Structure 1
Amino acid sequence: MSYPFEYGDRTLWDAGYHSGQLYVSLARGAAGFLEVRSGLTPTPQGGCAVDREEFQAFVQRLYELCTPGSNEVLRELGHGLLVTSLVLLDRVGARITVRAEDTKALAEAKARFARTMAS
């Protein structure tokens, strides 16, 4: 059983059911903590629709939480969620603003992780 993440008629990530459920739960929790919407809405088919603008705002705030200088525990807790979110954000054709010194490391992390996220 899968848990697809969709943008319009495109499947961005055909996650396993448990992986998808966990990601959505973590994203909703982080969005509540950050006081923004996650941009993820459950679909009747058992997956999630991605609202590009809301999701982009969420990922930008999540990135800001995970930057050097922030609390190390919060940064590390958010890192996996951030990388997964950045892959999805790339797949909807959107970007966030990142510091130049973070660009290479995030690009490498996204590339590694994207290979595990079937679409």
Structure 2
Amino acid sequence: MTLKTIKSEQEYDSMMAWVDEQFDRKVKPDSPDGEALQVALLLIKSYEDVQYAIPSPDPIEAIRLKMAEKGIHNKDFVGKLGSKSYVSAVLNRRKPLTLTMAKFFYKELGIPASVLLA
């Protein structure tokens, strides 16, 4: 197998088949074949990151999902984030999610900052 960047689905499938063969052979990681396998896996990951990119979740949807999982309602944030109408406006996208709110949701709901600030 010649290791090179993957540019098509056919090359991807071929590389995946080769990797499967290497796993079946149980190559040692520190052997020359093991080194080639590691490079192939990096090439596959690079191709998948571009071709099958996972979009970032919507911050408000992530908040709503975590609220549902934890049984939290809008009214539970009244006083912590503002009035009932303000909390509702934020969760219904009529008001923007501020940095202060993102910090609050990070601490209260455990939502990663990368999701909240996307």
Same fold (TM over 0.5): no
TM-score after normalising by structure 2? 0.30
Query: Greater strand share, 1 or 2?
Result: 1
Larger radius of gyration: 2
TM-score after normalising by structure 1? 0.30
Query: Greater helix share, 1 or 2?
Result: 2
